[in-house]
Amino acid sequence: MNLTITLAQMAFTFGESEENYQRVRKWVANAEKEGTDILLFPELWASGYDLEHCAAHAQTLDEGLFLRMSALARQHSMILGGSLLENHQGDIFNSFFLYGRDGELMGYYRKVHLFRLLEEEKWLRAGDELVLLDAPWGKTGLSICYDLRFPEMFRVYAAAGAKLILMVAEWPETRIGHWRTLLISRAIENQVYIAAVNKVGRSQGADLGGRSVIVDPWGERVVEGGTEEALLTARIDLGLVDQVREKIPVLKDRQPDAYENVREYNHDPR
């Protein structure tokens, strides 16, 4: 099955949700002209890491920016995704939502791995489950930024049948080499497509790295951005996932029972 994905590699204004939303509206209208099926915005695109004011930014799934993104998806008949601060029963999460063409919530993922360097664990609660969508185009996993450094998460998705993994991020320029290397590695080792969108511009004294990218199951970059704002669009063939997995049956050759048994040797040279 073919699928057209657009990555909205955007800059944003720190802590200014309304201003950022108005920018998002324009990007959605522009992406519609590209015939996009899925449009992804970066991690915390509305507020950034304005976590000291996270309670003011956070909203429930049935109000505020969540409802407005639902309405945009319906208005433009487009699948929209990105992460926002979510208030759920008084706890605040970094939540990646995905709305369908009809505006209905297809699914949402609460970030499991909180990033200590930005004190996420001080302000936010970690999610406690992974999310695999049984989408019309195939099973799809959701992930957020720091999750990229935890390969076991991506392997769980692949072993459960994921053909596509979506990632939203706010990744700094200083570690952009890690971003590119890890995304390619995750795609190759799990034989999946990965569509990853990152911010550009400057926030909290740091340059954000951009280089939003779609990587295919062979580890080839289908489309990749630079360090400027851009709408990056590519059409992918999810049938390639099955072809790659048939040619090199990595997932079939796994031996999970053996991985639970680790023999240790303690050599004492005395």
The string of pLDDT tens digits covering residues 196-220 is: 999 999 999 999 999 999 999 999 9
| Residues 255, 261: Cα–Cα separation, whole Å | 11
Residue 128 maps to a domain: yes
Residue 26 maps to a domain: yes
Single-letter residue type at 122: K
Residue 106 maps to a domain: yes
Indicate the helix (H) or strand (E) that contains 75: helix 64-76
CATH code: domain of residue 92: 3.60.110.10
Domain count, the chain: 1
Mean pLDDT of the chain: 97
Residue 265 maps to a domain: no
Residue 215 maps to a domain: yes
| Residues 112, 95: Cα–Cα separation, whole Å | 10
Segment 136-149 shows an average pLDDT of 97
Single-letter residue type at 241: V
- pTM of this prediction? 0.96
> What's the confidence (pLDDT) of residue 178?
98
Residue 118 maps to a domain: yes
The string of pLDDT tens digits covering residues 78-128 is: 999 999 999 999 999 999 999 999 999 999 999 999 999 999 999 999 999
Residue 267 maps to a domain: no
Segment 133-138 shows an average pLDDT of 96
Q: Is the dihedral of CA 30, 35, 37, 38 positive or negative?
A: negative
Select from 83, 106, 6, 15 the least CA-distant residue to 53: 15
Q: Can you give the residue range of the structural domain that contains 38?
A: 2-255
Residue 262 maps to a domain: no
Confidence band for 267, pLDDT divided at 50, 70 and 90? confident
Q: Which residues belong to the active site?
A: 43, 111, 145
> What's the confidence (pLDDT) of residue 78?
97
